[in-house]
Structure 1
Amino acid sequence: MNDGKNQDFGLLFLRVSGALFLLWVHGLPKVLHYSEQLTLIEDPFHLGAHVTLGLAIFAEVLCPLLIVAGVLVRLACLPIIAVLVIAMLVVHPEWTLLEGQFGWLLLIIFTSLLIAGPGRLVVGQRFS
């Protein structure tokens, strides 16, 4: 058994499953229901709903797509981590660990990818 290949497949699974989950649950609803989301989004830094929603869409749609492809993975994790930290500590500081478990688990996933990188199974990379 090749440990390097196992690690690469493990990172691929973490990358793709975490990114697609974030995209499906948070990103796509923001894009598909943009007008409704403008009325619902929290704006903790008073940037305006359009700017705040645009930043959230960047972090929850574009960044996960880059991560799935294995392109600029560490860099793409940073906006996601920022949105999650803001959501957990600024927007919803009253949440218990139980109420915020989904956010904390996503934070664990994307921080792990930031630390470990994408592995060798990325777009444009040969795997032998």
Structure 2
Amino acid sequence: MSTTDIETTTTATDVALCWLRITGCLLLLSVHGLPKLLHFDHELGVIEDPFGLGSWLTLSLAIFAEVLCPVFIVLGVLTRLATLPVLFLLAVSVIWVHPEWSLAEGQFAWLLLIVFSTIFVAGPGRLALGTRLAHHWPLLREL
């Protein structure tokens, strides 16, 4: 097998990373991101503002992390970079916003932290648009 064959062979790991990217992002989008985006005015009145940035900026940053970043992650474009705002948002949620949550109450946030930290560590895998485009645009190459 040549080096080229090895680089283009899809493995179970690549399929698993693709599955993890897609399903994790769909969960984040459907449960958190899209409701915030679609009900922006309502969410302005109920969003927590742990850093005193104001509800509009806090909500906008949350939508960035829960809507735009998942699109990049699903596509596998700048995947590791796109996971950072998601991980930050989830960490803020469980540490500063809801420190009173028991493990059972915060299990969805903790599971999402596990999913997105795994994606951060492993990268997007070979079944990612960014992996294919990186040959032509080196700036898209994963770290």
Choose which of 22, 44, 47 in structure 1 pairs with 2:53: 47
Structure 1 residues 37-75: Cα deviation after superposition (integer angstroms, max 9, x where no partner)? 000100000000000000000000000000000001000
Match of 2:125 among 109, 119, 125: 119
Q: Which runs of 4+ in 1 moved over 4 A?
A: none
Paired residue for 2:29, among 12, 23, 29? Answer: 23
How far apart, in 2, do the equivalents of 1:74 and 1:114 lie?
5
Tell me what 1:69 maps to: 75
State the alpha-carbon separation in 1 of the partners of residues 40 and 17 from structure 2. Answer: 32
- Deviation sequence 1:70-105 (CA, Å, 0-9, x none): 001000000000000000000000000000000000
Counterpart position of 1:98: 104
Task: Name the CA distance, whole Å, in 2 between partners of 1:31 and 1:95.
Answer: 25
- Give the partner amino acid of 1:56: A
The unaligned stretches of length 5 or more in structure 2 are: 1-5, 134-143
Name which of 14, 29, 33 aligns with 2:20: 14
Instruction: State the superposition RMSD in angstroms.
Output: 1.6
Q: Which residue of 1 aligns with 2:90?
A: 84
Tell me the number of residue pairs that the alignment of Structure 1 and Structure 2 aligns: 125
Could you tell me the TM-score, scaled by structure 2's length?
Answer: 0.84
- AA aligned opposite 1:63: C
CA distance in 1, matches of 2:10, 2:123: 13
Do the aligned residues in 1 keep the contact of 2:83 with 2:120 (CA within 8 Å)? yes
C-alpha displacement at 1:11, in angstroms?
0.2
Find the residue that maps to 1:39 and give its secondary structure: helix
Equivalent-residue separation in structure 2 for 1:4 and 1:117 (angstroms):
15
